[in-house]
Structure 1
Amino acid sequence: MKNKVFLFAFSLFVMFFSSCSGVIGYGVVLWNVSEKEIPDGTVVPVYLKSNISKVYVIGVPGTKEKIEIPLWKLSNPESKSRAVKYAKKYSEYTGKYAFCIFDGLPVRADKVNTSKQVYRLKKNEVVRALYKGNGVAPTSGGNPLPGEWLRVLTDGGIEGWCFSYNLRLFDMNRDGSYGAGAEVVEVQQKDETLDKILFTYWYPEYYRPMISKKQIDLEYILPGYGFDSGYISGTTKISLPNLNVSFPYSEFEKMDNGDYRAKDAPVEIIPRSSKYIIVRYIDDSGKPRNYTFTSLEDDVRIEELISEEKSRRQGLYKSIQALGPDFKSGNYGTLSFNDNNIFRWSGFMKLVPAVIPQGAKGIGFVETKYFLDGTLKSSWDGVVTFHFENASREVNFLYKKEVNGLRLAYANIVEKYDDSFGRKTVSVSLPANSMVLFFQK
């Protein structure tokens, strides 16, 4: 019975198709009709819509010919004036299609990275770029990715929003062949290793142990530090504590040893693994300088790490302040922890000059910037750093919060300079003869 109904409906469709002349509306071609060389953005008359066959019958511009096209290739038929107005919305991206360069790239319902996924693109899949919209840029390691939100159409009729960072726009010719821009993408896609390197933002190698150990050094972790190949941004950059150079993007070519060299910039890339690369920069004197960089997981946000570390440090100070805020010692005076990390300390002369520098005033500010490892971590709560007014150096104490007060022990801070990145690493130790102070609350 169903087959008979279908055949009857189909026969009616064929008869109507062969004789129809009434226009039911006008639509905008959303995807190139290559067999008749009808480019996207063209306004065409619509004679019939078949929900059974899922096609429109449209007129070929400049002829009396009528053809079928899939429903998804055409906007909903309406008046000609409205269709023309609708076509203007697509005018900026007429003939623009895009390769997806990232397997699993989501197409979303709205212009924000947390919006519902309506589709996931495969690597090398082609979509039509319809128009752009304002939205919230996705981030990588806390940095907004370059690009913009594009309304895209898949080869199957699914529409949604996709951020352009992992798309490569190219022109589609009227006959369906790929035009300008496609050749660049095809060249880059021949080397998946280079592809991965170019489309990844790389961070200084020391970021990874900082993050894994949850010991964020605010002096040396910044959103801008890292290596940008320049393929997306147009500028190749190396930004480190001891180096900040940039060059207009230059294509990277593979050398015989498997490394990559920029054609017109003093930069080479040496792959080490999927998570590590070495960037070799040839300085003005011709000396090569090597820097190791790492990629980070997509959910890592550098700005969030910085914010969390600042909150952690402030929390440590507040916990000391909450225990007191005033502490007294018969031998070492009165110590108060006030708001805004300000301390006041009177009667500390017995600690001068062995611990506290000569001439230091009894006021200053406090930090909790150092981290403990090993046995110190099990015996002490942390390190409190005093910056006395008129003092030549900072003063560091290990501290332990007790039920009835605060225990301090002079801490030894050893700095080691890391020449490769231009930063100082710090280790904290407790000298064998360290002075231990106890302040009652």
Structure 2
Amino acid sequence: MRVGKIYSSASVLVIFILLLLSCTSGGIGYGVILWPPEGSSLESADVVRIISESNIEESYIIEDPRSEENLSLKRWRVDYYNNENEARRAAENYRPFANTMALSSRVGLPVRSEPDALSDRVYRLRQHEELKVLSKATEEVQVGEYLGFWYKVLTRDGTQGYCFDKELTVYQEGEREAVLSVQNVDPRVDDFFTRSYYPERFVHLIRRGTPALQVLNPEFGFFPDREQGVVTIVSSKYRLSREFSGIEEAGTNRFYLTDSNVYVTLENPAPPVSSILAQFQNGPEEITARFIAIPDLEEIIEKEKLRREEALQQIVEMGERFMSSAYGTIEIFPDGSFNWTGKERLVPGTIKAGFGDTGSIRFDRYISPKLMRDYTGAATFRFQGAGPEQGISFLYSLEPQGIRFTMIPEDNVKDFMVDEIGYNSLVLFMNLQS
């Protein structure tokens, strides 16, 4: 009897485990595909079996109903249901909108939490941003002075909400280019918003090999942000921020950032847009300025910083102390600071009386190709007590016994470039001290 009871209990346990496995082997539920990934065999309104879920990845593992392969999909692409019947009923309701898309006609069009103009904004659309339509209200409603429908929509970051159709263009999948064409959207406009633009002078300095860091400030320029609906224009004299609600044609190649009082002329006949002419107000002043796209500006700046650091280290590696019986002793340190004592003969004719003995050495001058045969580079000694733009500049050549400095009159420096040394320039030879 005891054996029979044990056998009977074991059988019940096995049957229970088998039932449990049969219940769980089918996955965790079912889903309706809302917006399939590009290139996928899945289609909107497909019903799929959901195998598992990852909270870390915010995704489902689903079974492709066509290939029967398991795929990973972000959760926002799938509407979850507990059982297959619920999923199929939902799919039938969604099927009329399976291929329905929409475009925002302006910057800042709100997606709201409810089909109500007073409900919370959950997303701010970019101009011509594409949306997936999930459903449409059955009745027209009045919003302000407009009569229209609310659409339930899905954005590409997974936000769901409601959008009023006043500034929404609804179309079928695959018709996007035709819709944009009907709206007369210049293909350069989308390209224009993908870049930052910098003052034309930056390009001039870079092309002639004088990327002066005191000028190439990456915060200066023309920065259009379509997503936020803001254009920022910055220079050493002003910082302007203008909100805009869209972009509209204002003449041949000319566009107006709506409501911003900023006009932009796109100077390239086709994408990519690399040169623009901007017109805007700074108080009572009307400004017209050209800005250029410089994709590798940050890289150019880093290379110039490295060049200056290498020039300093080249001197420091010779030794830190250089002396002249006539012009004193210069100590140059690895951090770019210096100490120049015994320079009385140079005061006040060359070095102003108010300058101290210490300061920093900068390699912010450039020499023309014809001077490169005779000189290693150019350096500026900026003394404590001097103004930020004051200092003494020299051409220098590194020699086995020390450094030969040839003074450069500031009149010979044109846009940071030294093209000639002039007549009777002061020459200082500073002997290397071991």
TM-score bracket for the superposition, by shorter chain length: 0.5 to 0.7
Residues 328-407 of structure 1 mapped to structure 2, 5 A cutoff? 328-391=323-386, 393-407=390-404
Question: CA 1:305–1:427 in 2, change beyond 3 Å: closer, same or farther?
Answer: closer
Shift of 1:269: 0.6
For 1:105, the equivalent position in structure 2 comes to none
Asked if structure 2 preserves the Cα contact closer than 8 Å seen for 1:203 and 1:296, the reply is yes
Question: CA 1:230–1:384 in 2, change beyond 3 Å: closer, same or farther?
Answer: same
1:171 partnered with 2:132: yes
Shift of 1:212: 4.0
Task: Indicate which of 67, 71, 93 corresponds to 1:54.
Answer: 67
> SS of the counterpart of 1:207?
helix
1:266 partnered with 2:266: no
> SS of the counterpart of 2:203?
helix
Question: CA 1:98–1:318 in 2, change beyond 3 Å: closer, same or farther?
Answer: farther
Asked if structure 1 preserves the Cα contact closer than 8 Å seen for 2:406 and 2:428, the reply is yes
Shift of 1:318: 1.5
> SS of the counterpart of 1:172?
strand
Name the Cα RMSD after superposition: 4.4
In 1: Cα distance, 2:215 partner to 2:102 partner: 37
Shift of 1:316: 1.0
In 2: Cα distance, 1:348 partner to 1:98 partner: 77
For 1:294, the equivalent position in structure 2 comes to 292
For 2:274, the equivalent position in structure 1 comes to 275
Task: Indicate which of 183, 201, 223 corresponds to 2:169.
Answer: 183
Residues 143-292 of structure 1 mapped to structure 2, 5 A cutoff? 168-174=129-135, 183=169, 186-187=179-180, 190-273=185-268, 274-285=273-284, 287-292=285-290
For 1:160, the equivalent position in structure 2 comes to none
> SS of the counterpart of 2:373?
helix
In 1: Cα distance, 2:311 partner to 2:45 partner: 61
Asked if structure 2 preserves the Cα contact closer than 8 Å seen for 1:414 and 1:426, the reply is no
In 2: Cα distance, 1:257 partner to 1:167 partner: 22
Structure 1 counterpart of 2:281, one-letter code:
I
> SS of the counterpart of 2:225?
coil
Shift of 1:327: 1.3
> SS of the counterpart of 2:370?
helix
Structure of greater Rg: 2
For 1:412, the equivalent position in structure 2 comes to 409
Asked if structure 1 preserves the Cα contact closer than 8 Å seen for 2:31 and 2:49, the reply is no
Offset from partner CA, 1:139-188 (integer Å, 9 cap, x none): xxxxxxxxxxxxxxxxxxxxxxxxx9999341324499998676398557
| Unaligned 5+ runs, structure 1 | 1-22, 34-38, 57-73, 85-94, 101-163, 417-423
Offset from partner CA, 1:367-394 (integer Å, 9 cap, x none): 1111222322332122211122344631
Structure 1 counterpart of 2:275, one-letter code:
Y
> SS of the counterpart of 2:403?
strand
1:313 partnered with 2:308: yes
TM-score, normalised relative to structure 1: 0.59
Offset from partner CA, 1:388-428 (integer Å, 9 cap, x none): 23446311111110111100000123499xxxxxxx94343
Task: Indicate which of 401, 421, 437 corresponds to 2:428.
Answer: 437
Question: CA 1:376–1:415 in 2, change beyond 3 Å: closer, same or farther?
Answer: closer
1:426 partnered with 2:416: yes
**Moved segments of 4+, more than 4 Å:** 39-46, 77-81, 95-100, 164-167, 174-182, 184-189
Asked if structure 1 preserves the Cα contact closer than 8 Å seen for 2:279 and 2:287, the reply is yes
Question: CA 1:427–1:24 in 2, change beyond 3 Å: closer, same or farther?
Answer: closer
> SS of the counterpart of 1:385?
strand
Question: CA 1:277–1:96 in 2, change beyond 3 Å: closer, same or farther?
Answer: farther
Offset from partner CA, 1:305-359 (integer Å, 9 cap, x none): 3333223212211211211221122221222112322212222222222211124
Residues 62-211 of structure 1 mapped to structure 2, 5 A cutoff? 168-174=129-135, 183=169, 186-187=179-180, 190-211=185-206
Percent of pairs with identical residues: 21
In 2: Cα distance, 1:30 partner to 1:40 partner: 5
Structure 2 counterpart of 1:430, one-letter code:
I
In 2: Cα distance, 1:50 partner to 1:231 partner: 37
Question: CA 1:330–1:427 in 2, change beyond 3 Å: closer, same or farther?
Answer: same
Residues 9-24 of structure 1 mapped to structure 2, 5 A cutoff? none
| Unaligned 5+ runs, structure 2 | 1-24, 37-42, 51-62, 70-76, 88-97, 104-124, 137-150, 154-162, 171-175
